[in-house]
Amino acid sequence: MAAKYKSPVLGMYVGSTPTIITTDFASTRELLLKPEFQGRPDIFTVRLRSFNELWGVLFTEGPLWAEQRRFSLRHLRDFGFGRRFDKMEAATEEEVRTLLDSIRCPVAAEKGMVRDGEVLLPDLLYPGFINATLQTLTGERVARDRHDKLRGLSRAVRLFQRHLEPSGGAVNITPWARHLLPDTLSATGLERANQGVQDFVDELLEREKLSFDENALRGFVDVFLAEMRKRPDSHFTDKQLAVMLADFLIPSSTAVPITVAMALAYLAQHPDKQDAAHLEIDAVVGRGRLPTLDDRSSLPYTEAILREVLRLDTNTALSVTHKCTQDTFFRGYFVPKGTLLIPNIWAANRDPAVFEKGDEFGPERFLDSRTGTLKKKDPTMAFGLGKRLCPGETFSRQTMFLYLSALLQNYSFAVSADGYLPSEEDMIPGFLVTPKSFWLRVAARP
C-alpha cells in the first residue's frame, strides 16, 4: 500500500478510530521518539489480561506506567536485569549447561525434542530463557524435571499472542461481537490462553507470598511485596504485580528464544557464516570453558549474527500499538488525540535506504570492513526506541549471546532430513510473528 500511494506514512480508519502506519526507517524512528505518541490504547484485549482493568507496564500509560516502570527498572537491576551481576550470570551458565546436556543426553520429557541427531526448535530453548527471567523475579529457577511447567507457560503465551493482532483486530473494534462469534473473532482462544498465563503467575505468587521474608529479599517479587506493605493505598497491588509479571515473562517465553532458534536456522542455511563463528569462538574462548559476557566484546562476528537476526527477523513486526496523547502534527499532517499509531518495524529494519540488500542475511553489515570490529552504532529498532524502549533489551541481548555462543562452541547445525526451515511465507501471524517448530541436524564439534 505504501508503494501504491508513494508514501511511507499511511492514514486510515480502524473501525471509527483514525490510525497511522509508518513503513520506512525515518518515519518509524520519528514516530517512536515523538513525545505525543507514547500512549497506549484502552482496548478489549488489554483489559482481558488485566482483570478488565488497566495494569502492568507494557500496555499502560500515564502516572501508573511512569511510576511502575521507574520502580521495576530500578529494582530489577539489583538482581541482574540490565547490568552485570555475578549470581545472575552463574545461574544462566547453569541453564546453558542444562541445554547442552539435553542435546547430549535428553531426559524422558525432552525426547520429543531430541531425536537421532536432530533437535526441535525453538521448543528445546524455552525453559532456559524463562528460568533466566525467573531468577531475577524470584531468585529461584524451575528444576529440569519440571521444565514441562515452563513449556506450558510458553505455549499459553504463544497462543495468546497468535490470537492477537497488533492493529487491534475485529474483537477490539466490536468487542460485543465476541459473544456472537467467539471462535471467529478468536475470543475463546484468547481467554483460554490468557487463563493459562494467569494460572502460572497465580501459582508463582502464592508460593512467593507463603515464603516471603522482608529481611531476606530474594528477587523483584519480594521487593514489590515489601512495597505493598509499606504503601497499602497505592498502585502497588496484587493485580498490578500479577500483570507486571506476565509482562516480564512474555519475551522470555517467546521472542528471545525464538531469535536464537532463527539464528541457528540462518546459520544452517549459510554454513560459511557458521564456520566463521566457530573459528572466532575457538580462537577467543577455546573449548575448556563456556563463553561469558567478558568474551562478548572479543566475539564481534557472533554478536553481529544476533544483530542481523534481530534486524531481518523482527518478530515484533508492528511493535506494540502506540496512541497519540494530544493533538499534534506529524510530517505535515494533523494527528488528533486518540489516534492509533502503528510503527512497521519489520519494514523499517529492511529499508533499502539504510540497509543494503536488506532482505538478505548478512552479519557482516554490522562489522567494520577494515578492522573486523563491531560497529558502535546499531540502527535497528527490534526493541523499539524512546520512552517505550523495551526495558529488557540489555538482559535479552546478554542472554541470547550466552546461549548462541555456547551452542556454536559445542555444536554444528545443519538442515534436517525433512529439509524444512521457516520462511516468511509460513510464519504464524499475531502480536508476534513466530515460526512453526522446526528440526535441525546437530553434531558435536570435534
* SS3 sequence of 23-89: CCHHHHHHHHHCHHHCECCCCHHHHHCCCCCCCCCCCCCHHHHHHHHHHHHHHHHHHCCCCCCHHHH
What's the rounded Cα separation, in Å, for the pair 386 and 383?
A: 10
Residue listed under C-alpha cell 549459510: 270
E strand or H helix that includes residue 119? strand 118-121
Residue 346 contacts residue 194 (beta carbons within 8 Å): no
CA nearest neighbour of 123 among 153, 88, 92: 153
Q: Is 82 left (phi over 0), alpha (psi -120 to 50) or beta?
A: left
Rounded alpha-carbon distances, angstroms, from residue 381 to 86, 239, 301, 316: 29, 31, 20, 10
DSSP of 141-193, one letter per residue? ---GGGHHHHHHHHHHHHHHHHT--TT--HHHHSGGGGGT-TTTTTHHHHHHH
Q: Pseudo-torsion of CA 389, 248, 378, 41, nearest 10°?
A: -30
What's the rounded Cα separation, in Å, for the pair 315 and 253?
A: 13
What's the rounded Cα separation, in Å, for the pair 281 and 277?
A: 6
What's the rounded Cα separation, in Å, for the pair 57 and 240?
A: 9
Residue 382 contacts residue 433 (beta carbons within 8 Å): no
Q: Is 114 left (phi over 0), alpha (psi -120 to 50) or beta?
A: beta
Rounded alpha-carbon distances, angstroms, from residue 88 to 84, 137, 211, 245, 390: 8, 11, 21, 18, 20
What's the rounded Cα separation, in Å, for the pair 36 and 259?
A: 31
Q: SS3 of 404, please?
A: helix
Is 390 annotated in a binding site? The answer is yes
Residue ranges of the binding site for heme: 390
